[in-house]
Amino acid sequence: MSKVKITGHASGSGTLTLTGPNTNSDRTITLPDSTGTLLASEGAVTINDSGADVDFRVESDTNANSIFVQGSNGAVGLGVSSIATNDALHIENGESYLVMKDAQQMGIKLYGDDTNVIYSYDKTADSLTGGVTWAHADGATNFYTGGLNARMTIDSTGAVTMPNQPAFSARVATQQNNLAINSDVTVLFDSEVFDQNADFNTSTNTFTAPVTGRYFLAMNLVLNVPDAAAGFYQFSIKTSNRNHTQTNTIAGSTDPTYWTFNYSVLTDMDAGDTSYINFYQNIGTAQTDVRAMESTFSGYLVA
C-alpha cells in the first residue's frame, strides 16, 4: 500500500517522503523551512494525475496567481486568475516582457495548417492595434496597423506591395491654351490616373505630403507651338520647403509644332507640405498650350 510520510522539526528542514508499494518507488521532497524552496531529490512530480477539472496556482509575495493553470482547458497564465477560451498562454503582470536568452540561436516557431498570426491589442480600449499574419494558402506575409488594416504584403515570390504608400499620377485632361507670358502659371492637372492614399487634389492641382519624408516628384509637359522668340521657359516643381526649377530655350527661328519637357527631383517634404507644377515664359507671344492626356505630374514617398 502506498503511503505518505512527513518528517521534520520546527528549527530545521522538513522532509516529505512519498513511499510507493515498494522501496524502489519511494520519492523524497525536501522543504527547507526558511526559504520556501521545493526540491525533488529524484523522480517526477505529477499534480492532478486524474485529470480533474480543477485549477492550480502558485502564489508569490505580491501576486496571488504568479503561476496559474486552468483546469478546464489546460491554459497557463502568469499573473492572471482566469484565461479566455482560445488563449493557451496569458501573461499579465504590469510592465513585463517575455524574455528568451541563450548563447545559441533563439526563436519563436508558429505551427498551423491555415494562417499563423501575431496580433497586438490595446488593453484599455479592448481593440486591435496591429499585427502580422502568414497565410499558408498563398504564401503571403501581411503587416497590419491601425487595427486590421493591411499596410504591406510580401507575396510568395518576394514582391512587396503597400496599398497605402503615398503614390500618385495626375494628368491634364483639358488642354490649357495660350499660357500667359512674364508671369507664373499653375499647370492644371485635372484628372488622376491613380492616387494611392488620396493625397492629390485635382481641384487645387496639388499633392499634399501625408508624412514627413523624402519624395520623388516628376513632371512631363508636352507643349503645342512653344514660341521660338521666347527668351526662355522655366518649369518648376514647387514645394513648401523649396522650388526646383529647370530653365530651357528653344533653338531656331521657327516655332516647333510641339516640344516636350521632362524634370524630376528627390526632395524633402514635411507632413502637410504641398507641391504643384509652375510654368513661366519670358517674353514672346502667349501662344503656348499644354497638351491634354500627354502631360503628367507624378510622385511617391521614397523614404
Least confident of 125-129, 164-168, 265-269: 125-129
Could you tell me the pLDDT band of residue 126, with boundaries at 50, 70 and 90? Answer: confident
Reported confidence tier of residue 23, pLDDT bands at 50, 70, 90: low
Over residues 155-159, the mean pLDDT reads: 95
> How far is the C-alpha of 274 from the C-alpha of 207, rounded, in Å?
5
Look at residue 185 and tell me whether its pLDDT is greater than 50. Answer: yes
Cell of 145: 496597423
How many percent of the chain have pLDDT more than 90?
A: 64
The residue type at 265: V
pLDDT tier, 49 (very low <50, low <70, confident <90, very high otherwise): confident
Least confident interval from 15-24, 45-54, 150-159, 204-213: 15-24
* DSSP secondary structure letter of residue 23: G
Reduce the DSSP state of residue 25 to 3 states and report it: helix
Taking CB atoms within 8 Å and a gap of at least 24, the contacts of 6-10 are: 8/33
Say how many CA atoms lie within 13 Å of 156 toward its Cβ.
Answer: 5
Closest C-alpha among 286, 292, 228 to residue 257: 228
- pLDDT attached to residue 290: 98
Q: What angle do CA 158, 159, 164 make, to 5 degrees?
A: 135
Closest alpha carbon to 162 in 172, 170, 153, 171 = 153
Q: In angstroms, rounded to a whole number, what is the distance separating the alpha carbons of residues 293 and 96?
A: 58
- Predicted confidence (pLDDT) at residue 41 exceeds the cutoff of 50: yes
- Closest Cα partner for 242 from 263, 273, 279? 273
Instruction: Report d(CA 150, CA 271) in Å as an integer.
Output: 22
In which band, very low, low, confident or very high, does the pLDDT at 21 lie, cut at 50, 70 and 90?
Answer: low
The predicted model gives 26-34 an average pLDDT of 49
Which residue would you say has higher pLDDT here, 141 or 48?
Answer: 141
Max distance between CA atoms of the chain, in angstroms, equals 119
Cα–Cα distance measured from residue 285 to residue 294, given in angstroms and rounded to the nearest whole number:
23
181: pLDDT strictly greater than 50: yes
Give the pLDDT score at 5: 46
- Residue 152 in this model has a pLDDT that exceeds 70: yes
Q: Specify the pLDDT at position 192.
A: 97
pLDDT value of residue 228: 94
Residue identified by cell 523614404 is 303
Query: Could you count the other beta carbons within 10 Å of the beta carbon of residue 88?
Result: 11
What is the per-residue DSSP string for 242-284?
-EEEEEE---SSS--SEEEEEEEEEEEE-TT-EEEEEEEEESS
Supply the pLDDT for residue 202: 97
The confidence band for 252, taking pLDDT boundaries of 50, 70 and 90, is confident
Phi, psi of 78 (to 5 degrees): -120, 110
Helix (H, G, I), strand (E, B) or coil at 24: helix
Nearest 10 degrees: CA dihedral of 284, 287, 293, 296?
20
Residue with the bigger pLDDT between 137 and 272: it is 272
What is the dihedral sign for C-alpha 287, 292, 296, 297? positive
Select the more confidently predicted residue: 256 or 92.
256
Between 276 and 46, the more confident residue is 276
Beta-carbon count within 10 A of 164 CB: 15
* Type of residue found at 14: G
pLDDT score for 98: 82
Count helices and strands in the chain by DSSP H and E runs = 0, 25
* Spatial separation of the C-alpha atoms in residues 171 and 233, rounded to whole Å: 20
User: Partners of 172 in the beta sheet?
Assistant: none
